[in-house]
Amino acid sequence: MPIAMYPGSFDPVTRGHLDIIRRSARMFDKLIVAVLNNSAKTPLFTVEERVEMLTECCKDLPNVEVRSFNGLTVNFARQTHATVMVRGLRAVTDFENEIQLAHTNHALMPGIETVFLATSIKWSYLSSTIVREAAHYNHDVSKFVTPNVEAALKRKIEEGKA
Ligand code: ADP
């Protein structure tokens, strides 16, 4: 059974991401949730904070490991022996970017296959951007994120960072 990797920014992790994690953890022996430390973007949460939140959210999933990485996802996949990339597809608007990414990863590392999971309808509108925006304007985000993430968002708002 191949090792799978679910890469992303997770800034912060939403219930939509967690749905993909739970479903793919049932499909593979091991799933690495890979948190991108992207120097080109200024995230709301540091990579350490994002890893900590995800680790807390996945603590009941023994075959899920949360790690951070820099640089190209395929290089991190090679390093961790992952051969499958899991990505979530929300709507047709995700498709263009995702197919380009899947082809690029395959061209860079032919052993890599990308598996797309269709989002659960319930979370098909949800994104980290929406969560950050809603929290910024003091909306209740408990529907979108777990309590630890909600608390972390509140702290950022209090610090004036969100
Ligand atoms: P990236 O910056 O790589 O797009 P994200 O953290 O936004 O990172 O998303 C990581 C993956 O999770 C992507 O494949 C994205 O399509 C998927 N995803 C994001 N939000 C949802 C959601 N609500 N339901 C299912 N998949 C999602």
Q: What are the residue ranges spanned by the domains of the chain?
A: 3-158
Cα of 86 vs centre of ligand 1, distance in Å, is: 10
**Over 90: is that where the pLDDT of 160 sits?**
no
Distance, in Å, from the CA atom of 107 to the CA atom of 116, rounded to the nearest integer, reads 17
Class for domain 3-158, per CATH?
Answer: alpha beta
Q: Is 127 in the pocket of ligand 1 (CB under 6 A)?
A: yes
5 — pLDDT class (breaks 50, 70, 90): very high
pLDDT score of 18? 98
**Over 90: is that where the pLDDT of 162 sits?**
no
Using only the alpha carbons of the chain, give its radius of gyration: 15
Q: Is 10 in the pocket of ligand 1 (CB under 6 A)?
A: yes
Distance, in Å, from the CA atom of 151 to the CA atom of 107, rounded to the nearest integer, reads 41
54, 87 Cβ separation under 8 angstroms: no
pTM: 0.95
Q: Is 20 in the pocket of ligand 1 (CB under 6 A)?
A: yes
Q: Whose CA is nearest to atom 8 of ligand 1?
A: 8
